[in-house]
Structure 1
Amino acid sequence: MRNRVYVFDTTLRDGEQVPGCQLNTVEKIELARELERLGVDVIEAGFPVSSPGDFRSVVEVSKAVSEPVICALTRAVEHDIEVAAQALEFAKRKRIHTGIGSSDIHIYHKLKSTPEAILERGVKATRFARNLVDEVEFYCEDAGRSRPEFLAQMVEAVIDAGATVINIPDTTGYCLPDQYGALIDYLMNHVSNIDKAILSVHCHNDLGLATANTIAGLRAGARQMEVTVNGIGERAGNTSLEEAVMIMRSHYETLKLDHNIDIQRIYPASRMVTRLMRMPVQPNKAIVGRNAFAHSSGIHQDGVLKNRENYEIIDPQDVGIPASSIILTARSGKAALSHRLDKLGVTLNREELSAAYDKFLLMADEKKEINDEDLMKLIGQEVKQRVLEIESLEVVCGSNDTAKAAVSINRNGVKAYNEAAGNGPVDATIKAITEIMGLNVKLEEYLVQAITGGSDDLAKVHVQISQDDTFFHGFGCDTDTVLATARAYLDAISKV
C-alpha cells in the first residue's frame, strides 16, 4: 500500500547517543517491548560493533520482540556487517543498516576519498550485507547537503546491489522543508529503479525543522520515517515520533498517509523513555509535554470548557493522557473559577461568583497557582490547616549496602516516623514518605536541576505524582538533593 508509512524507531540507537541517556540491556528490552506494543515497524536496536554491551543488547532485543523488524547499524565495513549479522541471529525479521557519506564535505574532508571510490565502497558493502540478510537499508550520510546528481547515482547503484530501503538523512538538520522535499522528489523521478526500494527520511533538529522536513519528505514520496520517542537524539535531537504520527492523523484528509501506531500508547511510551533515559521532556513539548493540554489563560479556559475543540486539535485521551488541565492563575477567568468550584461541590450565583472572582484575582497575584484549599478559604468555608513538614531525614547508602531512609514528618503538629529500604537514597526516601502518608499514589516524573553549577550548588527538584488519573506537582530546593527530593514529594502529596 503506497500510502502506508513505515515507522522506523531509533530511540535505542540514535536516541541513546544523548550524553547521560545510555541504557543497559535490561532497560533496552523493556523499552523495545513498549515500542512493539506502540506498533513501530522497525526497531533500530544498536550499533553492535561499537561495544560488547551494544552487541549483547541487539542479541537480547532480537529475542525479546517478534513483530517489528530488528535493525543493526554498521559502517560500510565488512567486519561491522559480519558482527551485525551475528547480533541479529535470533531476530525473527532482521535488517542491516549500512552506509557511507554522500556529500562532498564528507567525501573529501571526512573520508579523504573521491566520489568514485565512495560509490564503490557503498555498493560492495550493500552486496556483502545482502548475502547475510534479506533486508538491507543503505544510508547516504549527509544527504541533505549532497549534490542531487551524485546522490541519485549512489541510490541507483546500491538498489542494484540489493538495498531494499534507502535512507536519505538530513544529518546536520540543515535543510529547509521545501529543499528536503524537493530532494526526495528529485530521487523519486531520477532514479530508474526507485520502484524496487523504499525511500526513508531521517531528519535532525538542529534548526528546529526535523518534523517539518520529515513531513515534506513523506509528501514527496518517502514511505519510511526514522524517529525517536520524545524527539531525543544526537545534538538537538531527531524527528519526534509522536509529532509526525499525530500530524498524519490530524491532517489525514490532506496527506492521505497511514501508519500502524497505536496512538493511545504514545504517552505511556513517552513516560517510559523519560524514566529509563533520565531525559526530561520540556513542559511545552508538543503532544507529550506537561503543558501540552494545560490551559491557564481565561479566554482559552472559557473556550475549552464550552467545547474542547475551540483550543485543542487533539483529544488528550487519544494519546493516552487522561484529560486536559485547567490551571488557576492570575490569567484565569470566571469560567475556570466556576468550573473548579463546581468540582469542589460549591455552586455560586452570578453575583457571588463576581465577588469571589475579585478576591481570587488578588490571591492569584500573590501566588503562582491557586489550589483547592485556597479556593475554600476564598469563599469563606472553614478549612483545617494542613501542615506537612520534614522534621528530619537520615539516609544510609553506598556500594555495599542497601539504601535506607529514616524520615520524620510533622503532620498537623503530630510527628510521624518511618524507615524504608530502597534502590538508592531517593527511592528509599520516597517509599518512607509514601508509607507514612498512607496514600496510593504513583510517581510519574522526577527531575533534578542544578541552579548554577558546582558540587555545593542548590538542587531544584520537580516531581509529578498521580492518583486516580489526576496529576499533582511538587517542588523542593536544597543543597542536599535527597532533602530537596523529600520536600518536593511532600509538596506534591499535600495537594492530593
Structure 2
Amino acid sequence: MRSWHIEICDVTLRDGEQTPGVSFTCEEKTRIAEVLDQIGVEVIEAGFPATSPYEKRCVSAVASLGLDARICCLARARRADVDAAIEAGVDMVSIFMPTSELHIRHKFHAPRENVLDEALRMVDYTHDHGLQVRFAAEDASRTDLPFLMEVYRRGEEHGADLLSFADTVGALTPLQMYRTMRKIVRAVGKPLCAHCHNDMGMATANTLAAAEAGAFQLHTTVNGIGERAGNAALEEVLVGLHMKGGVRRYDLSHLVPLSEMVVHYSGVGIDRLKPVVGDHAFRHESGIHIAAILEDPETYEYFPPELVGTTRKFTLGKHTGKKALEHEVARLGYHLPEKELCQVLEMVKDRGEKKVDLTDETLIDLIKQVMGGPPL
C-alpha cells in the first residue's frame, strides 16, 4: 500500500479549548503537548495568543518546550493578533478570514475583496517577521468555489506556506469533501489543510476523505472535543490513517492514556461506545464473539487494543457462553468441572437478565456457591 502524504496538526489546545466550559492551564497545555509530540504529531496549535496575556504566556510556554513538533497559533487578519503570535515565539501563524458570503456579510459588512486584501497584508507582515503562514479560509465549505479559488491563488502569490479549508459547521458529506478537495488540490500549488467539524457526525470521515483526495495537513483534537459537536478526533484519524492510509509512523500506544488525560483536564467525558478510546471499544460479552476471539482476536477486532495503549476486556452477562466463562474463571485462578461450570453459567445469565453487574467479586461468590474452597 502506498501511504498517504500527510501530516497532523492537532488543535486540541486551541479549538478543543473552545469547547464550552473548557479552559486548560499552562501546565496542562504543556503536558498535553508533550504527549502529542511523543505520538509524533508534526504540528501543535497551542492557542490563540490575542485572547489574553495569560493565553499568550501559555502559547509561549508550549513554544519553549523544545519539542520536535512545530508550534502554531491562530490569529485574525489583524496586526495586533499577529504581533501577539510573534511575541509568543511560535513557528507558524494560522491567519484566518471568513470566505463565505454569509460570514462576510454578517461579520465584516464590507466587500469581500476588501476583506481579502487586508488578510493578505497580514500574510505579508507575518512573513516579514520570519514565520510560516497558514492562510485559512473559514467557512470554506459554504463558499462559492470561484471566489475560494481566488482566495487561495492570491494567498499563494503572497507566499502562504499552507492553504487551509475549513468545514466550519460540518456541512459536508465525505463524498462532497473528496470531490471538493480533489478539485482544489489539482488547482493550487501549495499544500492543502483540512479542518473538519462534527455537526453531522462526519468530521473523521471527512478528514480521511480529504486525505485520500490529496490534502496534506489534517486537523484533529483529542477525543474530538471542540465547539458544538466537536472536531475530527485525533485517535480516530490516526487509526484510520494506520489501517487505511498506510501511515504507520505514529506511536499510537499513547492514544488511550492521552484521551484519559484530556478527559481529566477538560472535564468532558467520552461515551463508552466511542471508537478507539471508549470503554467498550475492546469490550466483549457475546459468547459467540468471545469464543472466536479466544481462537483469533482478528475475528471481531479490526485492530488490536495494544496498538492504541489499552487491553481487551470480557464482560459476563445474559449473552455469555461457556468458553467465555471458562476463560474468566481461569483468569481468576479457578478450575470448574463441566457440571459446575454449567451451573455458574446459568447463574451468570440469570443475573445478566436482571441487570445485575457481574464483577470479579460476584463471579468468585458464584464459584464458591457451587464448589467452595480457595482459588487454585
TM-score (norm 2): 0.94
Show structure 1 runs of 5+ residues with no match. Answer: 385-496
1:325-364 matched pairs, under 5 angstroms: 325-364=313-352
Q: State the match for 1:124 in structure 2.
A: 121
Distance 2:140 2:32 in 1: 30
Equivalent residue letter for 1:62: A
Q: Retained in 2: the 8 A contact 1:286–1:292?
A: yes
1:266-277 matched pairs, under 5 angstroms: 266-277=255-266
Distance 2:257 2:364 in 1: 34
Q: Retained in 2: the 8 A contact 1:59–1:87?
A: yes
Distance 2:342 2:248 in 1: 49
Q: Report sequence identity in percent.
A: 35
Q: 1:59, CA displacement in angstroms?
A: 1.1
Q: 1:208, CA displacement in angstroms?
A: 0.2
Q: Retained in 1: the 8 A contact 2:285–2:320?
A: yes
Distance 1:111 1:332 in 2: 61
Distance 2:67 2:84 in 1: 21
1:440-490 per-position Cα deviation (integer Å, ceiling 9, x unaligned): xxxxxxxxxxxxxxxxxxxxxxxxxxxxxxxxxxxxxxxxxxxxxxxxxxx
Q: Retained in 2: the 8 A contact 1:107–1:115?
A: yes
Q: State the match for 2:173 in structure 1.
A: 176
Q: 1:259, CA displacement in angstroms?
A: 6.0
Q: 1:112, CA displacement in angstroms?
A: 1.4
Secondary structure of the structure 2 residue equivalent to 1:64? coil
Q: State the match for 2:27 in structure 1.
A: 26
Aligned mate of 1:295, from 270, 284, 304: 284
Q: State the match for 1:378 in structure 2.
A: 366
Q: 1:218, CA displacement in angstroms?
A: 0.8
Report whether the alignment pairs 1:43 with 2:25: no
Aligned mate of 2:308, from 311, 319, 324: 319
Distance 1:344 1:316 in 2: 21
Distance 2:164 2:135 in 1: 6
Distance 2:283 2:227 in 1: 29
- Which one is further off, 361-370 or 288-297? 361-370
Q: 1:374, CA displacement in angstroms?
A: 2.6
Q: Retained in 1: the 8 A contact 2:133–2:162?
A: yes
Report whether the alignment pairs 1:238 with 2:231: yes
Distance 2:79 2:173 in 1: 35
Q: State the match for 1:113 in structure 2.
A: 110
Q: State the match for 1:477 in structure 2.
A: none
Q: Retained in 2: the 8 A contact 1:18–1:232?
A: yes
1:44-193 matched pairs, under 5 angstroms: 44-88=45-89, 91=90, 94-191=91-188
Secondary structure of the structure 2 residue equivalent to 1:243? helix
Q: 1:110, CA displacement in angstroms?
A: 2.3
Distance 1:68 1:97 in 2: 15
Q: Retained in 2: the 8 A contact 1:40–1:260?
A: no
Distance 1:247 1:3 in 2: 11
By percentage of residues, which structure has more helix? 2
Distance 2:265 2:20 in 1: 14
Distance 1:222 1:74 in 2: 22
Q: State the match for 1:222 in structure 2.
A: 215
Distance 2:136 2:373 in 1: 64
Distance 2:36 2:293 in 1: 32
Distance 1:362 1:338 in 2: 17
Q: Retained in 2: the 8 A contact 1:202–1:227?
A: yes
1:224-271 per-position Cα deviation (integer Å, ceiling 9, x unaligned): 1010111111110010011011011112xxx34x36421111112111
Q: 1:359, CA displacement in angstroms?
A: 2.9
Equivalent residue letter for 1:115: R
1:116-144 per-position Cα deviation (integer Å, ceiling 9, x unaligned): 21221222121111111331001100001
Shift of the 286–161 alpha-carbon distance from structure 1 to 2, 3 Å rule, reads: same
Q: Retained in 1: the 8 A contact 2:192–2:217?
A: yes
Secondary structure of the structure 2 residue equivalent to 1:140? strand
Q: Retained in 1: the 8 A contact 2:256–2:309?
A: yes
Q: State the match for 1:7 in structure 2.
A: 8
Equivalent residue letter for 2:227: E
1:1-55 per-position Cα deviation (integer Å, ceiling 9, x unaligned): 9943111011100001112220111221121112111211111111111111111
Q: 1:355, CA displacement in angstroms?
A: 3.2
Distance 1:119 1:199 in 2: 18
Shift of the 284–383 alpha-carbon distance from structure 1 to 2, 3 Å rule, reads: farther
Q: State the match for 2:200 in structure 1.
A: 207
Matched length: 371
Secondary structure of the structure 2 residue equivalent to 1:331? coil
1:469-484 matched pairs, under 5 angstroms: none
Q: State the match for 1:250 in structure 2.
A: 243
Show structure 2 runs of 5+ residues with no match. Answer: none
Q: Retained in 2: the 8 A contact 1:148–1:186?
A: no
Equivalent residue letter for 2:215: A
Q: Retained in 1: the 8 A contact 2:193–2:217?
A: yes
Q: 1:348, CA displacement in angstroms?
A: 3.1
Report whether the alignment pairs 1:282 with 2:279: no
Distance 2:223 2:364 in 1: 38
CA RMSD of aligned residues (A): 1.8
- Which one is further off, 97-106 or 29-38? 29-38
